[in-house]
Chain A
Amino acid sequence: MIDSSGAHVVLASSSDENHPPENITDGNNKTFWMSTGMFPQEFIIRFPETTNISTVTMDSYNIKHLKIERNTSPNAANFEPVTQEEIEQTEGHLQLNSISLKGCRATHLRFIVTEGYDHFVSVHRISVKT
């Protein structure tokens, strides 16, 4: 099942009023969260309950290197690494990423962008397959 309903962003390292982090989980890839400069950048997504996640689908732009961490705690703390990805550059269209998390259990997922192809990166939509 593909689901982003109920999941929401609880923290983001930067925010532009016009492109807030809520845009990541609104299911619409026309709206986006945009970083406001410097790396690393991060945001944390909380699920309504602890969930087994097989795949994360992320539509983004300008992201070069991404790390994903998880926890199974009710608080957004004590994360452990799950995976990291080198993402290819695209021009004029979204980066469509499908990242396998191998059924890992998580209450929160933390996304850390350590490098970009530009000073500014955007994330347009994230959904998870359980």
Chain B
Amino acid sequence: MVKLRAKCLLLGDAAVGKSSLSHIFYNDGSLFQKNYSLTTGVELVMKCINIPETNDSVELYILDTAGKETLAEGCEKMWGEPSLLCLVFDLTSEQSFANCTCWMERVQAHCKGLRVPGVLVGNKSDLSARREVQASVAEEWAQSKGLEYHETSAKEMVNCDAPLLSLAQSFYSLYQEQREIMQNLGPG
């Protein structure tokens, strides 16, 4: 049994639904802690994800960055070295999808050569009549960046656990891979 720990950045434009999503993680009745710092504009939610068919789990420390541009500089200092990325856009806003490219560039500077698995989340899937971003387009962009694509509705609580499970599983795979290497190291 092992419990891994990962720092997960929740990124994306203002009003795409980041806080709504993190509040669902917070409200679903499992063990968590919550913390909000007004000075930094960063909210921390802890969520423990069990890896299916094992006794192992991953504790995700999810940092919800305030989308307001004025606070963004301060937030970047809090990013540190992330373990995982959750990039969110609004399916009814083409602009929020286009801006994902900038978010990726900004965060890459913090990854310092580490492989940081991530997901792309198209939120507000309940507003299907107002959809501006097609799943196939988002899917293709996600693939080109090595991200897994998910669509959610924080409002109707549809599919909200899928991105987290996918992130936890990616981190668990990295752990297994490194452990395998460590077990077979030469003497140097």
Instruction: Write the residues of chain A forming the contact surface with B, with a CB cutoff of 8 angstroms.
Output: 14, 16-19, 29, 32, 34, 36-39, 59, 61-62, 90, 92-96, 115-120, 122, 124
Shortest B144–chain A CB gap in Å is: 23
Q: A36-B175, A120-B178 are in contact. Are A17 and B6 (CB under 8 A)?
A: no
Q: A119 to B187: give the CA distance in the assembly, Å.
A: 22
B2–A18 contact, CB under 8 A?
yes
In terms of DSSP, what is the predominant structure of the interface of chain B? mixed
Q: Shortest distance in angstroms between B78's beta carbon and chain A's nearest beta carbon?
A: 14
Q: Please encode chain B, from 165 to 188, with 1 for each CB lying within 8 Å of some chain A CB and 0 for all others.
A: 000000100110011011001111
Q: Is B4 an interface residue (CB 8 A)?
A: yes
Question: Which residues of the partner chain B approach A29 to less than 8 Å between Cβ atoms?
Answer: 187
Q: Which residues of B contact A (CB under 8 A)?
A: 1-7, 58, 61, 81, 83, 112-115, 171, 174-175, 178-179, 181-182, 185-188
Quick check: A38 and B185 within 8 Å, CB to CB? no
CA distance A119 to B175 in the complex (A): 8
**Contact: A36 with B3, CB < 8 Å?**
yes
When the two chains form their complex, are residues B178 and A62 in contact, meaning their CB atoms are under 8 A apart?
yes
B-chain residues with CB within 8 Å of residue A95 when the two chains form the complex = 188
Say yes or no: B188 contacts A59, CB within 8 Å. yes
Please, which residues of chain A bring their CB within 8 A of the CB of B6? 37-38, 119
Q: Which of B5, B112, B185 contacts A37 (CB 8 A)?
A: B5
Q: Which residues of A contact B1 (CB under 8 A)?
A: 17
Q: Which of B3, B171, B179, B187 contacts A94 (CB 8 A)?
A: B187
Residues A17 and B2 in contact, CB atoms below 8 Å apart = yes
Residue among A37, A39, A92, A122 with most chain B CB within 10 A:
A37
Our pick among A62, A93, A120 for the contact of B188 (Cβ within 8 Å) is A93
A37-B83 in contact given A14-B5, A92-B185, A92-B186 (Cβ < 8 Å): yes
